[in-house]
Copies of this chain bind each other. A is one copy, B any other.
Amino acid sequence: MQQPRWAKRAQDIQPFHVMAVLARAKALEAQGRDVIHMEIGEPDFTTPDPIIRAGQAALANGHTGYTSALGLTALREAVAGLYAKRYGIDLDPRRVVITPGGSAALLLISALLVEAGQNVLMADPAYPCNRHFLRLVEGQAKLIPAGADTAYQLTPQAIEHHWDVNSVAVLAASPSNPTGTLLDRDQLKAIAEVTRRLGGHLIVDEIYHGLTYSRDATSALEVSPDAFVLNSFSKYFGMTGWRLGWLVAPEEAVPELEKLAQNLYICAPHMAQVAALAAFEEESLAICEVRREAFQVRRDFLLPAVRELGFDIPITPDGAFYLYADMRKLGGDSAALCRHLIETEHVAITPGLDFGHHRADQHVRFAYTTSLERLEQAVDRLARGLRQWPAC
């Protein structure tokens, strides 16, 4: 064959580096070793019972066919209701697009907004798939180095500085994965204003909303009604495996998104849509709230303990379930440290390399998606493992 076997795109879309850690963890577990998983980006709780029961009933009632591409009307209304309740926003349900996971919301946005050769500004570090969706459609992520001085977030100044003729949008995340930091109302407003002035679209990833610990998260829709806001039932509602999310879009974008959805995935899983209606019931919300509190207890334990071990976490992460830790003082390279810790202490964490380039080799991500008891064991093991860390 004369041509290369696969498109260049496939080379450019990176695997998650944590997969090597995970593969090693599984091999160790197959040998009977006890691995503590702090690399996993999903809650360690199964879906709340009322949602499970609603899913079972949906199946019993034959909700097994396609739905319309935008999703069930009742669910779009329920999501709009969440915005009224949580943020005091009057949101037209017709602006809510139900998607198969937050992933599909990113797919739709990339397809709709980004021409080949155009770029979207985002912070480095960020959720890695963001840039790969842009690569899929022959666009680019323009990664803006973001450090502790801006809570790892974009600023209006940085946006203005990096915006170029090929820029079409700004993508922010609050709370951010991997840093857990939030953008407050004033920051969101300032970012929305500069983006609007530059003629771009604002996209905000609010997938970790609901999982905040010291203060509530502001929705971009509170300050910028024409923002594209993506969210998901995965994290707060514990529904990762159902593959269900949503996108709030400007009214005039919805017919375009409907067309793209029809073609690209037909619809989100039907039974998941029916089940998710139960997510908004008091009983489910009470369960989610107990879980949020459990995450908070874990964060409040893990954050000082990890700092004590010599990791630098200058900004207190107020949301999600991650600590993004600077390991520069410990010496060496973060990917090597991850390998060392899985190998010697069977603790799995994620190297910074998975989230971008900016000082990625000096950072690791801890996920507190395991029990407090396991986190306590993990801290003991980390302490021991770091004493053997060659670079110390």
Residues of A bordering B, CB below 8 Å: 1-3, 5-10, 13-16, 19, 42, 46-47, 52, 55-56, 59-60, 62-67, 100-101, 103-104, 107, 111-116, 118, 128-129, 132-133, 136-138, 168, 199, 238-243, 252-253, 256, 258-260, 262-272
A13 contact set on B, CB distance < 8 A: 111, 259-260, 263
**Nearest CB of chain B from residue A80's CB, rounded to whole Å:** 22
Kindly report how many copies of this chain are found in the complex they form together. Answer: 2
Rounded to whole angstroms, the CA-CA distance of A243 and B64 in the bound complex is 10
Nearest B-chain residue to A1, judged by Cβ: B199
A263 contact set on B, CB distance < 8 A: 13, 128-129, 132-133
**Nearest CB of chain B from residue A10's CB, rounded to whole Å:** 5
A111 contact set on B, CB distance < 8 A: 7, 9-10, 13, 136
Rounded to whole angstroms, the CA-CA distance of A65 and B42 in the bound complex is 8
Rounded to whole angstroms, the CA-CA distance of A270 and B46 in the bound complex is 12
User: Is the Cβ of A15 less than 8 Å from the Cβ of B259?
Assistant: yes
Q: List 20 A-B contacts (CB under 8 A).
A: A6-B253, A7-B114, A7-B115, A9-B112, A10-B111, A46-B65, A56-B60, A63-B241, A64-B239, A65-B241, A100-B265, A103-B265, A136-B136, A137-B138, A241-B271, A242-B269, A242-B271, A243-B266, A269-B272, A271-B271
| Residue from the set A19, A101, A168, A265 with the largest chain B CB neighbour count within 10 Å | A265
**Nearest CB of chain B from residue A136's CB, rounded to whole Å:** 6
User: Is the Cβ of A243 less than 8 Å from the Cβ of B259?
Assistant: no
| Residue from the set A59, A104, A107, A252 with the largest chain B CB neighbour count within 10 Å | A59
Nearest B-chain residue to A253, judged by Cβ: B6
A269 contact set on B, CB distance < 8 A: 241-243, 269, 272
Rounded to whole angstroms, the CA-CA distance of A67 and B62 in the bound complex is 25
User: Is the Cβ of B256 less than 8 Å from the Cβ of A6?
Assistant: yes
User: Is the Cβ of A241 less than 8 Å from the Cβ of B16?
Assistant: no
Q: Which of B7, B104, B270 contacts A112 (CB under 8 A)?
A: B7
User: Is the Cβ of B10 less than 8 Å from the Cβ of A256?
Assistant: yes
**Nearest CB of chain B from residue A18's CB, rounded to whole Å:** 10
User: Is the Cβ of B113 less than 8 Å from the Cβ of A168?
Assistant: no
User: Is the Cβ of B116 less than 8 Å from the Cβ of A116?
Assistant: yes
Q: What are the nearest 3 A-B pairs in CB distance?
A: A241-B270, A46-B62, A47-B64
With A112-B7, A116-B138 in contact, do A241 and B259 touch (Cβ < 8 Å)? no
Rounded to whole angstroms, the CA-CA distance of A67 and B46 in the bound complex is 13
User: Is the Cβ of A52 less than 8 Å from the Cβ of B60?
Assistant: yes
Rounded to whole angstroms, the CA-CA distance of A65 and B290 in the bound complex is 19
